Amino acid sequence: MKFIKYWEVADGALDEAVEKWGKYLEKSAKTPEKFPRYIFPPHIVGDTMKGISIMEADNEEQLMNYIAELFPPLKIKFLPLLPSSEYIPIYMKAKK
């Protein structure tokens, strides 16, 4: 399943976030099956320490592993991306 990930670095925690990010990259390179995959890599939005990325996960455990590696200082929110072409027929059935 695909997810949009919203992320934010806690105030005053950029150095800690960068350190944890480096450790995560090493760990995920060794065991990629434990973590979600990037479709659209992390991007900063505007001039803040907030951003987005798009990821794909095979199961919930991959998302939980990701959060466990980076929280805190990274606040993370995953929202599923649902194809509208599949949603519309379901919506039309529900209206009946």
Answer whether residue 53 shows pLDDT above 90.
yes
Give the pair of three-digit tokens for residue 30. Answer: 């060794």
Q: Which residues pair with 52 in a beta bridge?
A: 6, 43
Whole-prediction pTM? 0.85
Helix, strand, or coil (residue 92): helix
Q: Taking the CA atoms of 1, 50, 29 and 66 in sequence, report the sign of the dihedral they define.
A: negative
User: What local confidence, expressed as pLDDT, does residue 4 receive?
Assistant: 97
Can you list the domains of the chain with their CATH numbers? 2-95 (3.30.70)
Q: pLDDT digits over 63-75, tens only?
A: 999 999 999 999 9
How high is the pLDDT of residue 73?
94
Burial group, residue 36, by CB count within 10 angstroms (0-12, 13-18, 19+): buried
